[in-house]
Structure 1
Amino acid sequence: MLYVIYCLDKPNSRDLRLATRQDHLTHAKAHNDAIRLGGPLLTDDGDGMVGSLLIVDMPDKAAVEAFVRDDPYFKAGLFEAVLIRPFKQVLPIAE
């Protein structure tokens, strides 16, 4: 099942994000087969990162929650909020 993971960083956490970024990417790479789309949420000017958005294909919400809990960003306390929701892909429309 597809799930959206929407994470917002705590204010003024740029340095923490950058310090844990490589470990986060290593964690993501280990789950590459489950990740359908992912990347940072950006500031309005596109210059900074303020969160993360992923769409993952995992068997259930418990698996997604475990994936998030094991993420170095989460372990470092980077996120102010994490939202996990089931997702149904409708677009683009297959012809």
Structure 2
Amino acid sequence: MPYLIRGYFRQDVAQARLQLRPGHIRHILSRLQEIVCAGALCGEDQRPQGLFLAVGCTDREQAQLLIADDPYYRAGLFERIEIEPFLQFVPHPNPRILHEELERALQSATMAAR
């Protein structure tokens, strides 16, 4: 099952993050086979406040190992890390998945209304 990893930076790490960024990018490049999607979590000012990784790991432990190997993590830049499983619908191997989910949701709503 895929996992979503969110790492939130401590307030005082902007300079350290910039220095570690090449290593972080190398880490991401080395794990591309496991990464479904990744990016920065930004504030309204567009400054990075953290990162997210959607990863195709087999379990939570594998997801934890992936983030634990990141230079940002090893340097202690994160205030907190959140790891949770998620169900990926887009993109999905079944191109009709959202239509099927809509049909199920409509059936459930109809049953609940009775």
* TM-score, with structure 2 as normaliser: 0.77
1:43: which partner in 2?
Answer: 43
User: How many angstroms does 1:61 deviate by?
Assistant: 1.0
The amino acid that maps onto 2:39 is: G
Q: Percent identity?
A: 32
The amino acid that maps onto 1:15 is: Q
Q: Choose 10-19 or 84-93, whichever is displaced more.
A: 84-93
Q: C-alpha distance in 1, partners of 2:33/2:54?
A: 12
2:79: which partner in 1?
Answer: 80
User: How many angstroms does 1:92 deviate by?
Assistant: 5.8
1:52 and 2:51 aligned: yes
* Runs of 4+ residues deviating >6 angstroms: none
User: How many angstroms does 1:91 deviate by?
Assistant: 4.1
* TM-score, with structure 1 as normaliser: 0.91
Question: Quick one: higher RCO (CA 8 Å, sep 6+), 1 or 2?
Answer: 1
Bigger proportion of residues as helix: 2
Q: Which runs of 5+ in 1 are unaligned?
A: none
State the Cα RMSD in Å. 1.4
Structure-to-structure mapping, 1:26-41, within 5 angstroms: 26-41=26-41
Deviations 1:52-95 (A, max 9, x none): 01100011111111111111000011100000001111346723
Larger radius of gyration: 2
The amino acid that maps onto 2:87 is: K
Q: C-alpha distance in 2, partners of 1:22/1:92?
A: 29
